[in-house]
């Protein structure tokens, strides 16, 4: 991602527990690979990273949402991202210092409108990163160019040290979108947001679950809740410690989902339940209770099969998975 960012450096979005991968696992790897800027959502996410990276390298995307967060950021050195005039005032009242500034260029979420950039409060801020966020970087739409132009306008209006616009997909839009710092997230964790990344991004998340029981069932027997699968012939079935409480949702039911055993795909039978799922063991006669299976979880293909986004597939992975 850093190489694809050209003259810009690649930071890392590690919010939502590094997109479900585990921030305390991912951040040291990213740090050792040369990453120097990390982006989280909440103060408790930033607190979890202190000790792994310098606090000044952590940006708090939701900003000083109350006086307590503003004081804590001042005390620790974590950078807040200012998203409104109210947050700017709160930060300055807490003592101010280096911060980042989010400008809304068309996504209409957090960030200052361009019309507010001339406010005297903004002139009092010590801005490190002037950033905005792309709404449709994974699509070829005119909004991308409009947002880029507005971001360039903001760069000319507000004094700052560095500028940042591109997320993972935005990096692929070219150097006009890069500024000084890019903020990839999904692509760091195996996601493929645009076709240019195919073959360049490796799978990262490989969730695994144990087989709790192996059973033999007769033709005509149902499997799981409401017997949505009926065995057409005698079958060998594995009951796996995995369910929707782990983020393996019901959308994987009825054969849409599968688990891997020595490269062989074992289809899901019937409905996914909270803590268990059944799989067809016809292709795994050597499998035994206690063996581990890997989810078929290559993100682009899994997204097509499940109807979930690549982001959802990662962030849904529950706490019962050890990282």
Active site members: 15, 225
Strand 264-269 to 258-261 pairing: antiparallel
Tell the burial category of 79 from Cβ atoms under 10 Å away from its Cβ (0-12, 13-18, 19+).
buried
C-alpha closest to that of 257 among 307, 204, 205: 307
The first and second tokens of residue 173, run together, are 């839009």
Distance between CA atoms of 301 and 290, rounded to whole angstroms?
28
Strand 258-261 to 235-240 pairing: unpaired
Q: Is 101 helix (H, G, I), strand (E, B) or coil?
A: strand
The first and second tokens of residue 48, run together, are 């979890």
Distance between CA atoms of 210 and 167, rounded to whole angstroms?
36
Q: Is 223 helix (H, G, I), strand (E, B) or coil?
A: strand
Tell the burial category of 295 from Cβ atoms under 10 Å away from its Cβ (0-12, 13-18, 19+).
buried
CA distance readout (Å), 75 to 45, 64, 87, 103, 272: 16, 13, 17, 25, 47
């Amino acid at each position: 991602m850093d190489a694809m960012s050209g003259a810009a450096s690649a930071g890392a979005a590690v919010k939502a527990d590094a997109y479900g991968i585990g921030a305390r696992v991912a951040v040291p790897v990213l740090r050792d690979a040369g990453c120097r800027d990390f982006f989280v959502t909440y103060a408790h996410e930033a607190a979890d990273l202190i000790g792994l990276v310098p606090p000044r390298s952590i940006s708090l995307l939701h900003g000083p949402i109350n006086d307590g967060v503003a004081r804590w950021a001042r005390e620790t050195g974590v950078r807040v991202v200012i998203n409104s005039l109210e947050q700017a005032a709160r930060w300055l009242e807490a003592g101010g210092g280096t911060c980042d500034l989010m400008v809304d260029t068309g996504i209409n979420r957090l960030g200052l409108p361009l019309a507010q950039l001339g406010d005297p409060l903004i002139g009092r801020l010590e801005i490190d990163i002037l950033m905005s966020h792309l709404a449709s970087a994974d699509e070829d739409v005119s909004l991308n160019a409009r947002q880029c132009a507005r971001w360039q306008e903001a760069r000319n209006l507000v004094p700052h040290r560095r500028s940042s616009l591109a997320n993972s997909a935005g990096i692929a839009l070219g150097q006009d979108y890069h500024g000084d710092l890019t903020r990839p997230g999904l692509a760091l964790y195996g996601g493929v947001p645009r076709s240019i990344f195919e073959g360049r991004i490796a799978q990262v998340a490989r969730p695994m679950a144990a087989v709790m029981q192996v059973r033999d069932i007769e033709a005509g027997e149902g499997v799981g809740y409401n017997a949505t699968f009926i065995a057409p012939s005698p079958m060998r079935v594995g009951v796996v410690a995995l369910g929707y409480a782990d983020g393996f949702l019901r959308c994987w039911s009825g054969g849409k989902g599968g688990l891997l055993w020595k490269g062989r795909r074992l289809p899901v039978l019937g409905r996914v339940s909270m803590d268990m799922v059944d799989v067809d063991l016809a292709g795994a006669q050597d499998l035994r209770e206690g063996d581990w299976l890997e989810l078929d979880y290559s993100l682009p293909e899994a997204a097509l099969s499940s109807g979930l986004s690549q982001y959802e597939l990662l962030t849904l992975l529950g706490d019962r998975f050890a990282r």
